């Protein structure tokens, strides 16, 4: 076998970078989240995995709402800052222009190309992390990020994260069509 076993410190590769928002102490607070995925089709449910006792969790648990915002590369520094500094130590409420949807307590980031408004569905404790499942009740973008009425990644300039090397990567090349390119092999 030519494969090298690099141990267990390998992660899902690469990971999305998001800014999760909640209302804490009457103000918006944001943290960076990369351990995030879709976990249910109908209703659409996303799952965040949070370790330790994040300040944002206080707002998620109080209001049972949160937002998931996907930042473009121009927000990389602010996103990283949200992941470096806790709202317990610094006020992150003024970092972004905030808007609200129907839930009123899930602050979304206006500068982000795509924002999901979520209602807490359930939580699940893991050995070191807690999973927060959120039902998506609204998704917001700007006209300039749409093609044929659908969000277009090629227009959004999003970025992804790799761990354990802790690098951000651009994500700007569309390759082929999913559910189509493999048809050749059928």
Ligand X SMILES: Cc1cc2nc3c(=O)[nH]c(=O)nc-3n(C[C@H](O)[C@H](O)[C@H](O)COP(=O)(O)O)c2cc1C
Q: Kindly state whether residue 29 participates in binding ligand X, applying the rule CB under 6 A.
A: yes
141 binds ligand X (CB under 6 A): no
Asked if 161 touches ligand X (CB under 6 A), the answer is: yes
3-class DSSP state of 178: coil
Q: Considering the rule CB under 6 A, would residue 78 count as an interface residue with ligand X?
A: no
* Cα distance between residue 47 and residue 138, in whole Å: 15
* Stretch near ligand X under the rule CB under 6 A, chosen from 49-57, 68-76, 140-148, 174-182: 49-57
- Compute how many other C-beta atoms are within 10 angstroms of the C-beta atom of residue 96: 23
Q: Which residue number has the CB closest to ligand X?
A: 83
- 139-143, long-range: CB within 8 Å, 24+ apart, which pairs? 139/114, 139/115, 140/99, 140/101, 140/108, 140/114, 140/115, 140/116, 141/113, 141/114, 141/115, 142/113
Interface residue with ligand X among 45, 46, 47, 50 (CB under 6 A) is 50
96 binds ligand X (CB under 6 A): no
Q: How many other β-carbons are positioned within 10 Å of the β-carbon of residue 29? A: 27
According to the binding rule CB under 6 A, does residue 69 interact with ligand X?
no
Which of 25-33, 100-108, 110-118, 178-186 is the region at the interface with ligand X (rule: CB under 6 A)? 25-33
Q: How far is the CB of 95 from ligand X (least distance, A)?
A: 11
């Amino acid at each position: 076998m030519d494969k090298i076993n690099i141990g267990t410190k390998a992660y899902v590769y690469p990971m999305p970078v998001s800014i999760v928002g909640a209302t804490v102490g009457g103000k918006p607070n944001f943290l960076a989240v990369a351990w995030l995925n879709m976990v249910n089709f109908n209703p659409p449910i996303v799952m965040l995995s949070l370790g330790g006792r994040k300040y944002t969790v206080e707002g998620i648990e109080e209001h049972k709402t949160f937002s998931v915002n996907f930042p473009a590369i121009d927000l990389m520094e602010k996103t990283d800052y949200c992941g470096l500094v806790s709202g317990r130590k610094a006020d992150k409420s003024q970092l972004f222009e905030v808007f609200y949807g129907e839930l009123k307590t899930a602050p979304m980031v206006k500068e982000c190309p795509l924002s999901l408004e979520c209602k807490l569905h359930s939580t699940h404790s893991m050995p070191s992390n807690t999973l927060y499942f959120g039902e998506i009740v609204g998704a917001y973008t700007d006209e300039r990020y749409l093609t044929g009425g659908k969000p277009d990644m090629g227009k959004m300039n999003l970025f992804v994260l790799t761990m354990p090397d802790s690098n951000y990567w651009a994500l700007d090349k569309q390759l082929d069509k999913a559910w189509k390119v493999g048809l050749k092999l059928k």
